[in-house]
Homo-oligomer: A and B are copies of this chain.
Amino acid sequence: MKIAVLGMGAVGRGLLRMIDEKDLGITVTGIADSKSALIDKNGISAGELLAAKNERGYCGDKTISAMEVVTRADYDALVEVTPTNAMTGEPALTFIRAALSRGKHVVTSNKGPIAREFCSLKEMAREHGVQLRYEATVAGAIPVMHMLEHGLAGNKVQAVLGILNGTCNYILTRMAAEGLTYDQALMEAREMGYAEADPTYDVKGTDTAIKLVILSNTIWNGTAQLEDVSITGIDQLTTDALRLAEEQDHTIRLIAEAVPEKNILRVAPRIIPKSHPLVVEGSLNAITLETDMAGEITLIGKGAGSVETASALIGDLLFLSG
């Protein structure tokens, strides 16, 4: 399988490293980072790309654009792993549309375009007889989309509950375990590399809500937008609230919840029994699917990370090629 890769951030580099180290049957024929690009229908060494990026800060030829890779390279699937713009989905959205309209599969970890334009992109893929796959957009390494597509085929999913943001879960775990205040736990999360310098996008619940929109639209073939989600973040939570919950064998987690029958589409801190499978510690993610036949199925795993996200991209690529 031949792929063109857009983006050489942590995820793109993780993918290239796995292609270099493992025998996956995947050949890179086009690549672009933010400054340069390369096209070679005979294949480009993933190892050499990583070395070039590491040594000089860019991967290829500064006169070639990412769009040229999308429109001119010879590939089966475009792997779109540029940074997420949750508001417009750009420039990823334009790249994805260009690839689909060329009749190329698209595999992406980019939440922006999938949350914004799920229906139109799905329709465009269908028209051109190709697939749009986005396992990596939700819950990192956890193959929830594959689970919905295959393992739970035939089931009606009635509700989905998720812990979809590792930063928030780390903060809440530390507040509960050590009695830290929100500010203390946030500072620790920053030091551990779990929180960004500006944590707003995570702690206000926006990141969780975007993932909920993607999950919900996937399960129920819906048209939900970020604006449709009722969102409460974790930044107003007190240590007292957590302590009270803990005293009764409960804890507080930032839960994303979609229940179409009850018109629920919300992200909010929730009190939940500690024995519930969804209650994971630290930066883990968890998703519970409530189904009519299989009952409640819970998936737990790492929600982020370079190689973990690459695992999801590779699962999608191997599904397309297999």
Interface residues, chain A, with chain B CB atoms under 8 Å away: 18, 22, 24, 135, 141-143, 145-147, 149-155, 275, 277, 280-281, 284, 286, 291, 293-302, 305, 307-308, 310-312, 314-315, 317-319, 322
**B299 engages A295 (CB within 8 Å):** no
Contacts of A318 in B (CB 8 A): 153-154
**A300 engages B297 (CB within 8 Å):** yes
Q: A293-B307, A299-B298, A301-B297 are in contact. Are A315 and B151 (CB under 8 A)?
A: yes
Q: A146-B147, A280-B277, A299-B298 are in contact. Are A153 and B319 (CB under 8 A)?
A: yes
Q: A300-B300, A301-B296 are in contact. Are A315 and B141 (CB under 8 A)?
A: no
**A291 engages B319 (CB within 8 Å):** no
**A152 engages B143 (CB within 8 Å):** yes
**A142 engages B275 (CB within 8 Å):** no
Q: How far is the CB of A295 from chain B (nearest CB, A)?
A: 5
Residue of B nearest to A24 (CB): B154
Residue of B nearest to A299 (CB): B299
Tell me how many chains of this kind the complex includes.
2
Q: A284-B277, A297-B300 are in contact. Are A319 and B150 (CB under 8 A)?
A: yes
**Docked complex Cα distance between A322 and B135 (Å):** 20
Q: A147-B151, A277-B284 are in contact. Are A294 and B311 (CB under 8 A)?
A: yes
Q: How far is the CB of A135 from chain B (nearest CB, A)?
A: 8
**B280 engages A308 (CB within 8 Å):** no
Q: A151-B146, A153-B314, A314-B154 are in contact. Are A293 and B275 (CB under 8 A)?
A: no
Q: How far is the CB of A316 from chain B (nearest CB, A)?
A: 9
Q: A151-B315, A152-B315 are in contact. Are A295 and B300 (CB under 8 A)?
A: no
Other A-B pairs, 13, CB within 8 Å; known A145-B151, A296-B302: A18-B293, A141-B293, A142-B294, A147-B147, A151-B315, A152-B315, A153-B314, A153-B319, A293-B311, A294-B311, A295-B302, A298-B298, A299-B299
Q: Which of A24, A286, A299, A319 has the most CB of B within 10 A?
A: A299
**Docked complex Cα distance between A189 and B314 (Å):** 43
Q: How far is the CB of A114 from chain B (nearest CB, A)?
A: 18
**B315 engages A153 (CB within 8 Å):** yes
Contacts of A281 in B (CB 8 A): 275
**B284 engages A308 (CB within 8 Å):** no
Q: How far is the CB of A163 from chain B (nearest CB, A)?
A: 12
Q: How far is the CB of A274 from chain B (nearest CB, A)?
A: 8
Contacts of A145 in B (CB 8 A): 151
**Docked complex Cα distance between A297 and B18 (Å):** 18
**Docked complex Cα distance between A155 and B312 (Å):** 10
Contacts of A311 in B (CB 8 A): 152, 154-155, 291, 293-294
**Docked complex Cα distance between A317 and B150 (Å):** 10
**Docked complex Cα distance between A319 and B299 (Å):** 21
Contacts of A310 in B (CB 8 A): 293
